[in-house]
């Protein structure tokens, strides 16, 4: 089934209960997950793609994943 939970609650729970690496930052007030790509471990076949780039609105959205 589904359980309707607020995004802030779920993000806060993940940030508090999981041992996240230092290159991953969860900001519950802004509802964002930031990945410092300069600090991430080197992984083969990891790719990122720009989905939205709107500098005037300070909005930059990227989608990432692994290729097979």
Domain extent, residue 22, equals 7-66
- In this structure, is residue 40 part of a structural domain? yes
Q: What is the count of structural domains for the chain? A: 1
Please determine, for residue 68, whether its predicted confidence score (pLDDT) is greater than 80: no
Whether 54 maps to a domain, the answer reads yes
Q: What is the pLDDT of residues 30-56, one digit of tens each?
A: 888 888 888 888 877 878 888 999 888
User: Could you tell me the maximum CA-CA distance found in the chain, to the nearest angstrom?
Assistant: 40
Q: Is residue 2 part of a domain?
A: no
Answer whether 23's CB lies under 8 Å from 12's CB: no
pLDDT tens per residue across span 10-34:
989 998 999 999 999 999 988 888 8
Mean pLDDT of 53-64: 85
59 located within any domain = yes
């Amino acid at each position: 089934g589904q359980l309707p939970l607020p995004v802030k609650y779920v993000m806060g729970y993940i940030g508090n209960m999981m041992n996240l690496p230092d290159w991953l930052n969860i900001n519950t007030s802004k509802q964002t997950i930031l990945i410092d790509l300069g600090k991430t471990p080197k992984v083969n076949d990891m790719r990122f793609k720009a989905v939205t780039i709107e500098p005037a609105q300070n909005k930059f959205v990227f989608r990432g994943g692994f290729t097979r």
